[in-house]
Amino acid sequence: MKRKNRLSKAAYVEGILAGDRLVLSRAITLVESTNQADLALADEVLSDVLPHTGKAMRVGITGVPGVGKSTFIEAFGSHLTSNGQQLAVLTIDPSSQKTKGSILGDKTRMEELARDPNAFIRPSASGSTLGGVSNKTREVMLLCEAAGFDVILIETVGVGQSETLVHGMVDFFLLLMLAGAGDELQGIKKGIMEMAHAVVINKADGDNLKPAKRAKVEYQNALHLFPADPSGWVPQVKICSARDKTGIAEVWEMMQKHSEQVTTNGFLQSNRQAQQLSWFKENVQELLGSKFYRSEQVKAELEILTQKVKAGEVPALKAAHQLVDVFFGG
């Protein structure tokens, strides 16, 4: 039975390519659905709009809670839209692992940007996905590109999870930091620092300005210790005040220089191709896992083997082999 709120494939595709925000929102809801009929239709819609994707600058923004990600995104986003850029902001909220609920308060935190006709804000729940991103963030990003957005910002949860996933879907990875909170280099994950194309020290205003300038030197020195970026880009450190809207233009200029460099030397294309292949492999694993646990035979055997493993009657590895054999008929 066809859902009342489900459009036809043609209606989704035409609406997205026309930049219709309402249709885009409904298409994103379709992509994020767990309903099998919705997923099949979402695959068709994505296939049809795929030739119209890939033209946007993809930017990931991360940082610990309290660093001012939302304030920075609002100031940065307003700077872009005032210069005529069409901006999509994909904000990922922490989900409850018990209820799967989400705060989804980003539009409240970015009131000015939410009213901007050149900006589109879409909150999504992170669910159980690692890396602080929704498991459908990539697909949503493609839909936004097909709808004509020039810049896609992806804000991660930033709660200590691995940031590898968001780095693997963007062109520019920005790490927001604070100064004046003790030794700035303590507690920073080396892996995140290595992935960052830039470190931006926010809240560089008032009494924080001098500490921010000192921190800039420390971070710059630290970045030089890491291996060179394969793109040839030299990671940079900037300071800004999202509250006072100072230093924001410089951050955008830096991103444009990075975009020009990786486009010219061919790294942008090769990196996106590698990301696509990685995305493909991840989807294969996800789909296999999903079909595996939906199997009635697996469900029945899983319950029996679970009790045997708990009781110490069967080694965990042997039980796993038996369960996989049930699925594949081995």
Ordered structural domains, the chain, with CATH: 1-52 (1.20.5.170), 53-265 (3.40.50.300), 278-328 (no CATH)
Q: Which pLDDT score is estimated for 107? A: 53
Strand partners, 155: 61, 91
Query: Has residue 180 got a pLDDT over 70?
Result: no
pLDDT on residue 20: 97
How far apart are the C-alpha atoms of 13 and 23, rounded to whole Å?
9
**Bridge partners, residue 90, by sequence:** 122, 154
Question: Tell me, what's the pLDDT at 308?
Answer: 94
Contacts of 59 by beta carbon, 8 Å cutoff, 6+ apart: 151, 152, 153, 154, 170, 171, 172, 173, 174, 255
Instruction: Of 79-93, 130-144, 236-250, give the lowest mean pLDDT range.
Output: 130-144
Tell me the three-class secondary structure of the chain, residue by residue: CCCCCCCCHHHHHHHHHCCCHHHHHHHHHHHHCCCHHHHHHHHHHHHHHHHHCCCCEEEEEECCCCCCHHHHHHHHHHHHHHCCCCEEEEEEECECCCCCCECCCHHHHCHHHHCCCCEEEEEEECCCCHHHCCCCHHHHHHHHHHCCCCEEEEECCCCCCCCHHHHCCCCEEEEEECCCCCCCCCCCCHHHHHHCCEEEECCCCHHHHHHHHHHHHHHHHHHCCCCCCCCCCCCEEEECECCCCECHHHHHHHHHHHHHHHHHCCHHHHHHHHHHHHHHHHHHHHHHHHHHHHCHHHHHHHHHHHHHHHCCCCCHHHHHHHHHHHHHCC
pLDDT digits (tens, 9 = 90+) for 250-261: 999 999 999 999
* Long-range Cβ contact pairs of 100-103 (< 8 A, separation 24 or more): 100/125, 100/127, 101/125, 102/126
Q: How confident is the model at residue 131 (pLDDT cuts 50, 70, 90)?
A: very low
Q: Is the pLDDT reported for residue 101 higher than 70?
A: no
Residue 329 buriedness (CB in 10 A; 0-12 / 13-18 / 19+): exposed
Q: Is the pLDDT of residue 89 over 50?
A: yes
In the block, tokens 């989807």 appear at 283
Question: Mean pLDDT of all residues in the chain?
Answer: 86
Q: What pLDDT digit, counting tens, does each position of 32-45 carry?
A: 888 888 989 999 99
What is residue 104's predicted lDDT score, i.e. its pLDDT?
Answer: 45
Express each pLDDT in 200-250 by its tens digit.
999 999 999 999 999 899 888 888 888 888 999 999 999 999 999 999 999
Q: Is residue 105 very low, low, confident or very high in pLDDT (cuts 50, 70, 90)?
A: very low
Q: Which is it for strands 119-125 and 87-93: parallel, antiparallel or unpaired? A: parallel
Residue 325 CA to residue 330 CA, distance in Å, equals 4
Taking only the tens place, the pLDDT of each residue in 145-157 is: 999 999 999 988 6
CB 29 within 8 A of CB 140: no
Which residues lie across from 123 on neighbouring strands? Answer: 91
pLDDT for residue 167:
86
